[in-house]
Amino acid sequence: MGVAVRLIFAGVELIAALKASMDISGWREKIDELDRRLVELLSQRAQAAHEIGKLKRDVGMPIYEPDRERAVFDNVRGINPGPLPDRDLLCIYERIMDIMRQIQQEEIAPKAAATDAARDTELDSEVND
């Protein structure tokens, strides 16, 4: 079981244990802690996407891979314990995937731009001085 899934299950168990005794400020503190954990996990995911972008650049793979994205969506749908409906979870993941693709594009695009810039500074073989 992955770290994220264990965190989700641990969070659900903790919420069940605290549910009866927490007021609104306690729930907000809980949400703040969950947000900190989500940001940490999203940052780790972004770093992984960045590294994948480097590998894709090196081997000439496309950034958008619909089969892989479908597999991610199927995976998160399959591990969703609720109460968040699958359709809402998939909307969140569609946005996450958009941003991860953007991270990969930024990894690939600067290299292409740098190559074009280097080509512009070299002597053009078609120019005769």
**Whole-angstrom distance between the N-terminal and C-terminal Cα of the chain?**
67
For 26-79, how does the pLDDT look when each residue is reduced to its tens digit (9 = 90+)? Answer: 999 999 999 999 999 999 999 999 999 999 999 999 999 999 999 999 999 999
In this predicted structure, what is the pLDDT of residue 16? 67
CA gap 49, 97 in Å, rounded: 10
For 88-101, how does the pLDDT look when each residue is reduced to its tens digit (9 = 90+)? Answer: 999 999 999 999 99
Residue 126 has pLDDT above 80, yes or no: no
pTM for the model stands at: 0.66
pLDDT (average), residues 111-123: 51
The angle subtended at Cα 56 by Cα 67 and Cα 122, nearest 5°, is: 145
